[in-house]
Amino acid sequence: MQNDPIPLIRARALWMRRTAFTMVHRAQLGHPGGDFSATDILATLYFGVMRHDPARPAWEDRDRFIMSKGHATGAIYTALCAAGYFPEDWLPSYMQNGSPLNGHPNRNYVPGVETNTGPLGHGFPVALGIAIAGQITGRDYRTYVLTGDGEQQEGSNWEAAMVAGHRRLANLTLIIDRNRLQQGAGTEETSGLDPLDKKYEAFGFEVQMVDGHDVSALLGALTAKGDRPRCIIANTVKGKGVSFMENVAKWHHGVPNDAEFAQAMAELV
């Protein structure tokens, strides 16, 4: 890895946003708001934090990443493509019949996808199991899982948190994309989550709150280690980078018309 990964991470994040929005515009399907809130997190993980090898997706000592908010496929597919897991010429097939790049990531079709996700609340329990396996076998890989904040309303997350804290899984990092919007409304209006940090602390996690678009802050938080599981609450902006999308709930699954696409691409520079 180069001495200063920040310029590369920022460049990859910009490419990911532009490419994901192009995919959504072409398909007229997708979840661009959540893609854009998660992009900087994924770029930081794949290009500054995780130990992984796209030539060996099943390498036993790789770090594992679980995209629990599986609907944000524009973000995860562009991250995997930029990292070299599959060729760029797959991207125009996004959401088309027969494409490996369907509406939720499928490990049977897409190299680098650790587990199928989509039903919210499932990714964190899977990551828990992977981390427990590493603890039992003594392997030094780390497991990272990204959830949405609305997804925290699923009870399976809290069952996983209880076990992770009990087992002191220092090899597990939970990242929460805290953009405060879910489908149709704000998280606090729908089913309040705050104080989210205190809740995870009560389960035995080391908790850190960061700006989810500050690459330097993300690097520091995601590379820190301790003797307990970590929870990174990444404060983000839904639709980050495009003025008419930022903090607007409809862009959870909105798709752009031609004029909106042109404006967004002009802003994403």
CA distance readout (Å), 104 to 67, 99, 124, 127, 257: 10, 12, 16, 17, 23
Position 268 scores a pLDDT of 98
- Closest alpha carbon to 145 in 114, 175, 105, 178: 175
| Residue 190 CB partners (closer than 8 Å, separation 6+) | 150, 153, 182, 184
Give the mean pLDDT of 209-218: 98
Residue 108 token pair: 């049977």
Q: What's the CA gap between 213 and 205, in Å, rounded?
A: 22
Instruction: Answer whether 0.85 is exceeded by the pTM.
Output: yes
pLDDT of residue 5: 96
| CA-closest candidate to residue 253, choices 199, 184, 152, 203 | 184
**Quick one: pLDDT at residue 184?**
84
Predicted local distance difference test score (pLDDT) of residue 2: 53
- Dump pLDDT digits (tens) for 142-185: 999 999 999 999 999 999 999 999 999 999 999 999 999 998 89
Q: Where are the alpha helices (DSSP H) in 88-122?
A: none
CB proximity list for 136: less than 8 A, separation 6 or greater:
none
DSSP category for residue 8: H
**What domains, with CATH codes, occur in the chain?**
6-267 (3.40.50.970)
pLDDT at 226 over 90: yes
Confidence at 3, pLDDT banded by 50, 70, 90: confident
Q: With 50 as the cut, is the pLDDT of residue 245 above it?
A: yes
Residue with tokens 């149709």: 184
How confident is the model over 120-131, as pLDDT tens digits? 999 999 999 999
Cα-based angle 208, 210, 216 (whole degrees, multiple of 5): 115
Residue 75 has pLDDT above 80, yes or no: yes
> What average pLDDT does the structure give for the chain?
97
